[in-house]
Amino acid sequence: MNLTSKQRAYLKSKAQVIEPIFQIGKSSVTAELISSISEAIEKRELIKLHILQNCLDDPKEIANTIAERTQSTVVQIIGKKIVLFKQKKKDSAYTLPL
């Protein structure tokens, strides 16, 4: 899913108030982590992740890997924080601007 700049700005504003629900440590991206993130993103649509200091991988690579494996979209990467979005087919909590 490609987001327009308006849609990305809208999702960024919504993401400011949510707390990270996953922390990525030195084991980086594992199958268990992907499974957990996939479940969470199906329920919440918009999630935030935090990369710990002991993780040596690049945040952009981690974000792209997770987004690809969960069929979600990277909204933003700020330092060690990643915001991902995957809109529900029905009953979405987010109405994206056109």
Q: Where are the domains of the chain?
A: 5-85
Cβ neighbours of residue 22 closer than 8 Å, sequence gap 6 or more: 33, 36, 37, 40, 47, 49, 50
Three-state secondary-structure class, residue 71: coil
CA end-to-end span of the chain: 14
Instruction: Quick: pLDDT tens for 29-74.
Output: 999 999 999 999 999 999 999 999 998 899 999 999 999 999 999 9
Write down the residue that tokens 């108030």 correspond to.
Answer: 17
> Is residue 19 very low, low, confident or very high in pLDDT (cuts 50, 70, 90)?
very high
Q: Which CATH architecture has domain 5-85?
A: 2-Layer Sandwich (3.30)
Q: Which token pair is 84?
A: 């991902």
